[in-house]
Structure 1
Amino acid sequence: MALHLVPRSLQYVMAVAEHGSIQAASRGIGLAASAIDRQIKQLEDRLGAQLFDRVSTGMSLTPVGEMLVLLGQRWQADENRIWSDVKQMQGLDVGHFKLVAMDSLMNGIVPDFLGRIADKYPRVRVDADVATPDDAADALSEGRSDIALAFNLRPRRDIHVVWSTPLPLHCVAAAHHPLAQERSVNLSQVTKHAIVVQSRVLAIRRMLEARYSWIFSEDLPPVATNSLQLLKQLVMAGRHVALTSVLDVGPEILADQLVAIPVVGQKIVPQNISVALSAQRVLPRVASTLAQDLATEVQTMLHDIEKTMASRQL
């Protein structure tokens, strides 16, 4: 529900930035291109600065334009929060929140969580976007997200961690793989087999390289990918294993498609998973409530995974 707290001229700047040109923005928001162009030029005149670089291929934001778009995004987020809070004060389960999470979690926990939200809060709107841990933290502090579900969030003053827990390192293998019968393995055992690893854009790959760089030596060439789906398909085929957390492959463990074997050793350090909110913004109550619900969802999945893994060792 739009409250129209964002000035019209700023809305037009954001529309042109999103669509890449005035003509495309005109089609996107259903307003005459001349009206959009006039508002932007008036705003540029008042500021004494250009908001866009106008080239033959379209329009791109100048640094001043980027600053205004960021301001508009924050105002829109505040507008959504005001609307949500007013409706909740009226006793309505209505609201809008934005969630960012890692790609691997979008394939496991997040769908179940969103399904439960739809049942419990049918009038709550959710925007869910994929982000890296660093991007997730920035999205919280810049007002582009209300909740983050992320691995290895770095401590920051502007982020409030609602819940966090360690995620021990596991070797993931197909049920018929030779390592699947082991109760635990060390890295030397794992590297005797073909490995598929995550690309450097992911935190776990950077952690593995920083602490166990010998895994990536030339005489032990792994397959590297930024696709979790490819990683899981290679492991399920039986030729490869992977080093990751159980949350990355939770649905497959619960469905008996993959086995997770704890990796042991003196220098093995776990990752962590966190549910976090912005610490410098007043969030709608629905966001705080759903952050707690999300933490409960993750704990439940981890508990189910532990039970499944324990039953296989009996």
Structure 2
Amino acid sequence: MIISIKLSKTTYGIGYLTSKRRIHSTAIYCFDSVRRLGSIREASRTLHIATSAVSRQIQKLEDDLDVQLFERSPNGLKLTSAGESFARHAQFVLKDAERLYSEIDAIKGIQKGHIEIATVEGPSIELIPRVIKKFKTRFSNITVGVHVIGSSKMPELIINGEVDIGLAFDIENQRDLNQLWVKNYVLGAVVSKDHPLTYKNKTGLQECCAYPLILSKKGLSIHKHLSSFISLIDSSHQVIETNSVELSRKLALSGMGVTFQTIIGIEEDLANKRLFHIPITHPSVMNSELGVYVRSNRTLPVAADYFVRDLIHELSQAAESATSR
């Protein structure tokens, strides 16, 4: 790795080194150049610093560490054992500095731009607003567009490039989609605080049939999980059908019946005990897979890349919180 350092055009020497790309001690740059080139003179030429100045920096390092870092050989300067140990440290420090420069350059490059996101409704209620708020505090000039759609329509938008990032439940594996993050969430019966099921640790679909039901329409991933169950419900049963997760939530809050979903979208209601989520375990445990998706073989724009990192971080934290609950 070549480190380029600029000297100010003064006669004051090395103390007036002015490179904007130098955040560490001058000595570490001098050491690394001597290590790579095997010569103080060559390091001096590369760094545009006087030979005597490079020598003083090496000598200062050796004095500070109280060891000899280089020994002379017919082929130039060679690292001692102590020098090899320090070289590993220096390389780590300088590589980390390069990573930092790249990240800073990336941040500078996203002062303006636009991101398009597609999400199913559940995450749009609480999670997506949190992510957008966090993102906008850092990148206020980036505009964000959000499509709230069903999972079935998500792949087409991502693959066609209409959106940069997709967040959806139960998308089947596709060659043109890249899954960046995934988590399985248990489907449960969701009821208000006064409902008889509130005191259950688990329930079955048939047990839920003792009460009015709030069901998802076709097009939502929840309907796929419950389709066999829904087909057996008697036509005389009290049923409300909707394609809105938020409406299902509000109907459940008002005591209108039992709805079915994961904890995504009702986190605050659960925390405040306004709603209760009872896992469905009969006829079997039912899981719904929430994933973050982008188009395969596509490099995300810098702004979208930063957003998806924030999104995955928030999702991971939410998953940890749900596990510990």
TM range (shorter): 0.5 to 0.7
Distance 1:89 1:233, change over 3 A: closer
Letter in 1 for 2:279: P
- Note the alpha carbon deviations across 1:3-31, whole angstroms, 9 max, x for none: xxxxxxxxxxxxxxxxxxxxxxxxxxxxx
Query: Mind listing any 5+ residue stretches in structure 1 that lack a counterpart?
Result: 1-84
**What TM-score do the two structures reach when normalised by structure 1?**
0.65
- C-alpha contact (below 8 Å) 1:141/1:280 kept by paired residues: no
Give the superposition deviation at 1:280.
3.2
1:153 equivalent in alignment to 2:171: yes
- 2:34 is matched with which residue? none
Larger mean CA deviation between 109-118 and 218-227 belongs to: 218-227
Task: Show structure 1 runs of 4+ deviating over 4 A.
Answer: 87-90
- 1:225 is matched with which residue? 242
Counterpart-to-counterpart distance in 1, 2:221 and 2:107: 43
Equivalences for residues 61-72 of structure 1 within 5 A: none
- 1:122 is matched with which residue? 140
Larger Rg: 2
Please report the RMSD computed on the Cα atoms of aligned residues, expressed in angstroms: 2.2
Q: Which one of 286, 301, 305 corresponds to residue 269 of structure 1? A: 286
Distance 1:88 1:151, change over 3 A: farther
Query: Mind listing any 5+ residue stretches in structure 2 that lack a counterpart?
Result: 1-101
- 1:178 is matched with which residue? 196
Give the superposition deviation at 1:165.
0.8
- 2:305 is matched with which residue? 288
- C-alpha contact (below 8 Å) 1:180/1:259 kept by paired residues: yes
Matched residues, percent identical? Answer: 18
Equivalences for residues 24-63 of structure 1 within 5 A: none
Counterpart-to-counterpart distance in 2, 1:251 and 1:154: 29
Equivalences for residues 214-253 of structure 1 within 5 A: 214-253=231-270
- C-alpha contact (below 8 Å) 1:198/1:204 kept by paired residues: yes
- 1:192 is matched with which residue? 210
Counterpart-to-counterpart distance in 2, 1:111 and 1:215: 38
Secondary structure of residue in 2 paired with 1:206:
helix
Letter in 2 for 1:275: V
- 1:208 is matched with which residue? 226
- Tell me the matched-pair count: 222
- C-alpha contact (below 8 Å) 2:110/2:302 kept by paired residues: no
- C-alpha contact (below 8 Å) 1:253/1:305 kept by paired residues: no
Give the superposition deviation at 1:119.
1.2
**What TM-score do the two structures reach when normalised by structure 2?**
0.63
Secondary structure of residue in 2 paired with 1:212:
helix
Counterpart-to-counterpart distance in 2, 1:287 and 1:241: 38
